[in-house]
Homo-oligomer: A and B are copies of this chain.
Amino acid sequence: STGSRKPKPPPVSHYNLNNVTVTANPLENRENILILTPMARFYQGYWDNLLRLSYPHELITLGFILPKTTEGNTATTALQKQIARTQKSGQEKDRFKSIIILRQDFDPPIQSQDESERHKMKNQKIRRAGMAKARNSLLFSTLGPATSWVLWVDADVVETPPTLIQDLARHNQPVITPNCYQRYWNPETKEMDERAYDFNNWQDSPTAQDLAKQMDPDDILLEGYGEMATYRTLMAYLYKEDGLLHEEIPLDGVGGATLLVKADVHRDGAMFPPFSFYHLIETEGFAKMAKRLGWQPIGLPNYKVYHYNE
């Protein structure tokens, strides 16, 4: 240093992981939430829904990872515009504690983001491995010692109850996911209707186990494909209109559309395997890994959130 003033000593932080609480009442305990979103496209509905979350925004850090494609660049610009509006000129209560935007330094494996192309079975393994790496990059780069919970929300989840965080956290479960549906125009009834969307929330079946046993170590099981009938119990179909909103079921596979995870589950090492892990990959592999670490994932079949309809 050139000046004569003694420079400030560099920071030393001491965190007692025991003192970072993770409770059924995070709001009262002022627990920090990290909301993580891998984002290939920007949807205004996603941002508007985020703004409506009633959990104190000053306790929420947002983390994004976007691919370095033309589409990813467009999404980044749109996202940054909304962030500037909220953080700089918006109402104070809307502002989030901090926001981290990462640009992915690897090529997304499939260029087209069209739903039909995305969901082709042969594209799935490579696509989901890429998604898993994006999630891991985001997670490893943003999780801090003071984070209590990680909420995964996909960029195309456009409608949740504003009390989402409080509602999920009150179950005090290590890994918990609502049921992801989709609104659509029903041409038969000529009315808006809704249908099951996310088939990655499931309970295992003997058929799937048998299929897995016959597979090569690197092969993966996929859900929602006729050519690979697993007979797993899909949470998407367990929704009951007259069921209890907070009914819980144990899950063996989870999706990432909306997923609340105690930060300690990730800290133990639970990540999104970008390779076949017990013949599972990405979020489904994460559920298996959480289980291997002693954490049982839980689903709420009657608590709904909504996916964008392309």
Q: How many angstroms from the CA of A143 to the CA of B14 in the assembled complex?
A: 16
A5 close to chain B: CB less than 8 A: no
| A190 interface contact, C-beta 8 A | no
A149 touches B (CB below 8 Å): no
Decide yes or no: A293 and B267 within 8 Å by CB, A99-B10, A141-B145, A145-B141 being known contacts: no
Give which listed residue, B13, B103, B141, B272, contacts A18 with CB less than 8 A: B103
B144 near A98: Cβ-Cβ < 8 Å: no
Interface range for A: 35 or more
Q: Is A201 an interface residue (CB 8 A)?
A: no
- Number of identical protomers: 2
Chain A residues with CB under 8 Å of chain B are 1, 7, 9-18, 20, 68, 80, 83-84, 87-88, 92, 95-105, 132-133, 136-137, 139-145, 147, 264, 266-269, 271-275, 292-293
Q: A15-B102, A137-B267 are in contact. List 9 more A-B contacts (CB 8 A).
A: A11-B98, A14-B103, A15-B103, A15-B141, A133-B267, A140-B140, A140-B143, A140-B266, A269-B274
Return the chain B residue nearest A144 by Cβ: B141
Q: Return chain B residues, CB-CB under 8 Å to A292.
A: 275
Complex CA–CA separation, A274 to B140 (angstroms): 17
Distance to closest chain B CB from A57 (angstroms): 9
Report B-chain residues with C-beta under 8 Å of the C-beta of A68: 18
CB neighbours of A92 from chain B (8 A): 1, 7
Q: How far is the CB of A134 from chain B (nearest CB, A)?
A: 10
Given A16-B103, A18-B105, A145-B102, check contact A269 B10 (CB 8 Å). Answer: no
Q: How far is the CA of A17 from the CA of B65 in the complex (A)?
A: 10
